[in-house]
Amino acid sequence: MTQLKSEQVWQKVEKQMFAVLGMVTAEGQARTVGIVYVVDGRTIYISSQKSAWKTRHIAQNPHVSLTVPIHKRIPLMPWIKIPAATITFTGQAQILAPGDLSAEILHKLYRGLETDAGLLQDTAVIKVTPIGEFITYGVGVSLMDMRIPEKARGRAAVT
């Protein structure tokens, strides 16, 4: 198992923008959804519609997981398929109104559309605070080492 530093993993998370958000419905059924996110101060922010099922599920059960895929490629040979590296962690989610956030976070999250009051009126923001450890696969190892699970797996504290 690869021992990673928290900062190494956060740098990878900050460079990405897509993740898979895992949650549980009120009936106890697991659900996942692809999301686009931004990072600010080691907190993940996700925009969503107020009426979206992910927003409703998280409002009832704030325990979530996030998996960030990191695509791998062999330089000059993009046709060779390589599995994505991954970073997975659990977190505590909170549903916020866009007005609860700083102008800086709103700008990062909405990429210039934060001035559209009509857009913001129908949206909510899911704030995810990671807890525990990052569990990784293929992060900080060579492509050759990704073939060996004992070498490809890693852990790092979230903080």
Quick: pLDDT tens for 52-100: 999 999 999 999 999 999 998 888 888 888 889 999 999 999 999 998 9
pLDDT tens-digit profile of 10-42?
999 999 999 999 999 888 999 999 999 999 999
Neighbours of 58 (CB within 10 A): 24
pLDDT of 116 higher than 70: no
HEC secondary structure over the chain:
CEECCHHHHHHHHHHCCEEEEEEECCCCCEEEEEEEEEEECCEEEEEEECCCHHHHHHHHCCEEEEEEEECCCCCCCCCCCCCCEEEEEEEEEEEECHHHCCHHHHHHHHCCHHHCHHHHHCEEEEEEEEEEEEEEECCCCCCCHHHCHHHHEEEEECC
Over the stretch 125-153, which tens digit does the pLDDT of each residue have?
A: 999 999 999 999 999 998 888 889 999 99
Spatial distance between the Cα atoms of 118 and 95, rounded to a whole number of angstroms: 19
CB 87 within 8 A of CB 39: no
- pLDDT score at 121: 84
Nearest C-alpha neighbor of 132 from the set 55, 60, 66, 59: 66
CA nearest neighbour of 39 among 83, 84, 91, 3: 91
Environment class of 158 (CB within 10 Å of its CB; exposed 0-12, middle 13-18, buried 19+) = middle
